[in-house]
Amino acid sequence: MELFLAGRRVLVTGAGKGRGTVQALHATGARVVAVSRTQADLDSLVRECPGIEPVCVDLGDWEATERALGSVGPVDLLVNNAAVALLQPFLEVTKEAFDRSFEVNLRAVIQVSQIVARGLIARGVPGAIVNVSSQCSQRAVTNHSVYLVMTSMGQATWSDPHKAKTMLNRIPLGKFAEVEHVVNAILFLLSDRSGMTTGSTLPVEGGFWAC
């Protein structure tokens, strides 16, 4: 299915660890602005996807984000993919972990979306914003009070076979989502093929929410 993303400028946050989205967009011919707090990740991504525009900034820093992205230029599409996962038992969640999680996982989504939306409105053009979240936003998972896909973050979280088996038993399809499953959903939502989809949640979770 042709998605007609070639030539469109897409800003992707969390691009260092979430490089699968950047790689797929680059392959479609989209012009990608890749945002990450880790310069080494951006350097390797530029080598893998020549022509992307890297931006190194910690999205938990409001002022630094405004400086870095406020002058990034016209953006047609946005993928809010940046996140941190600071896993602690509920009774041991610290103020520092709570603040950091909300700075990156929530506040940055609002700020970056504002920056992109203002530009779209000023130019009088349509666009799309895709916010990537976690299964844990809808179902209780041990030690995920302030935060399950097999990215490097997911692999670190579910590398313990016993812990993974407990979770897999709750997923009807019996497996974790892989990066490509989420990337395919993101590409669809960014494209005009989803033109009548708005304000919706598209679960990519193998039936986990149904249980």
For 176, the token pair is 């974790």
Active-site residue list: 147
Run of H or E residues at 117: helix 108-123
Identify the residue whose tokens are 């016993």.
162
Q: Report the candidate in 135, 127, 117 with the shortest Cα–Cα distance to residue 198.
A: 127
Look at residues 27, 24, 44, 28 and name the one whose alpha carbon lies nearest to residue 36.
44
C-beta neighbour count of 197 within 10 angstroms:
11
Contacts of 26 by beta carbon, 8 Å cutoff, 6+ apart: 32, 49, 51, 52
Task: Please name the residues in contact with 23: beta carbons below 8 A apart, sequence gap of 6 or more.
Answer: 48, 49
